[in-house]
Amino acid sequence: MHTLSAYIEGVGLLGPGLTDWPTSQAILSGQRPYQPHKTVLPSPALLPAAERRRSCAIVKLTLATGLEAIAAAGLDAASLPSVFSASGGDGENCHIICEMLASDDRQISPTRFHNSVHNVAAGYWSIATGAMTTSSVLSAFDASFGAGLLEALTQVVVDDTRTVLLACDTPYPEPLYGARPIPDAFGIALALAPQRGAQALAHITVSLTDASADRLDDTALEDLRIAIPAARGLPLLRGIALRQDRHVVLDYLDSTRLAVAIALC
């Protein structure tokens, strides 16, 4: 059985009723009730003014979660490779382009177009942080969190480097919402390292498994996990929040899931 291991040095979290990692730990561990409310996306202060104006929801979401994880890890984002994983690009932007292309006026704006690429968040991220490092930009539909985690772990293990995983999804408006009902913006970021550093929170060992994915006890949190691809990573965060060594199974593809052994540091 092949396993991939890394240390988690920082966590970023933003979603409905989950405003950041420090305050969300009590919710995930069951010490405080989960009260969903619409995700509030902060303005991306790190971007130059022109890019800030042009940025869309998935950019704001990714920057907020990624920077939270990296700050917690005490790292410099410019030095880190990155893995961006999302089911789709920015939902609102995609809808507006499709609407225009079906109309009599197909002249979409340059900003609309460059914001339509799946790697829009990765592009703005590198502009904001100055990172000229490699970034992998992935999609695996509902398996996107697992695909991103595997890619990030192979960077850590094979290239012996720290990296940051940014798994983020944004909702489509109608009518695409009806076809892909992602209810709200949600993102998880993890700063990962090959060696144990001063900020290490946990050591994870990941392997492929046939076992079923763990469910969350709280019904509303479980609904969130099912509804948003990036939220499939929540059982891992819950495991860390519970502050005890444990095994969790994360959802991945229909043919295989990810077994994660969590050892707290």
Partner 1 sequence: MDPLWLSHFTATSSIGRGLDQTLAALRQRRAGLAPCAFDTVDLATFIGEVAGVDAVQLPAHLGDFDCRSNRLALLGLTQDGFAEAVRAAIARYGAQRIGLFLGTSTSGILQTELAYRRRDPVTGALPADFIYRTTHNTFSVADFARHYFGLTGPAVVVSSACSSSAKVFGSARRMMAAGLIDAAVVGGVDSLCLTTLYGFNSLGLVSEQACRPFDAQRNGISIGEAAAFALLERTPKHLDADAVLLLGIGESSDAYHMSSPHPDGLGARMAMQDALKMAGLNSSEIDYIHLHGTATQSNDLAESKAIQYVFGSDAPCSSTKGATGHTLGAAGGVGAVICALGLQHGLLPAGLNTRQLDPTLGLDYLLDNREQPVARVLSNSFGFGGTNCSLVFARADQTHAHAQRIH
Distance of CA 16 to the CA centre of its chain: 14
Q: How far is the CB of 131 from partner 1 (least distance, A)?
A: 6
**How is residue 103 written in tokens?**
């109309």
**For partner 1, which is the closer residue by CB, 199 or 256?**
256
Q: How far is the CB of 194 from partner 1 (least distance, A)?
A: 12
Task: With contacts defined by CB under 8 A, name the span among 19-27, 62-70, 118-126, 220-228 that binds partner 1.
Answer: 118-126
Q: How far is the CB of 172 from partner 1 (least distance, A)?
A: 9
**Sheet with strand 186-193: strands edge to edge:** 82-85, 163-169, 186-193, 4-14, 202-209, 256-264, 246-253
Contact letters (x/-) for partner 1, 149-178, by CB under 8 A?
-xx-xxx-xxx--------------xxx-x
Place of tokens 């979401």: 61
Q: How far is the CB of 106 from partner 1 (least distance, A)?
A: 5
**How is residue 222 written in tokens?**
């479980």
Question: Which residue of 16, 44, 66, 88 would you call a contact of partner 1, by CB under 8 A?
Answer: 88
d(CA 7, CA 139): 24
Number of Cβ within a 10 Å radius of residue 157: 16
Buried b (16+ CB within 10 A) or exposed e, 37-72: eebebeebebbeeebbebbbbbbbbbbbbbbbbbeb
Q: How far is the CB of 207 from partner 1 (least distance, A)?
A: 9
Question: Which residue of 19, 126, 205, 209 would you call a contact of partner 1, by CB under 8 A?
Answer: 126
**For partner 1, which is the closer residue by CB, 138 or 236?**
138
| Interface with partner 1, residue 108, by CB under 8 A | yes
Q: What is the DSSP letter of 103?
A: S
Q: How far is the CB of 167 from partner 1 (least distance, A)?
A: 13
User: According to CB under 8 A, which residues from 193 to 212 bind partner 1?
Assistant: 208
Q: Which residues contact 156 (CB under 8 A, 6 or more apart)?
A: 4, 6, 162, 163, 192, 193, 194
| Interface with partner 1, residue 129, by CB under 8 A | yes
Which residues of this chain interact with partner 1, rule CB under 8 A? 2, 4, 51, 54, 78, 87-89, 94, 97-99, 101-102, 106-110, 112-120, 122-124, 126-127, 129-141, 143-144, 147, 150-151, 153-155, 157-159, 174-176, 178-180, 208, 253, 255-256
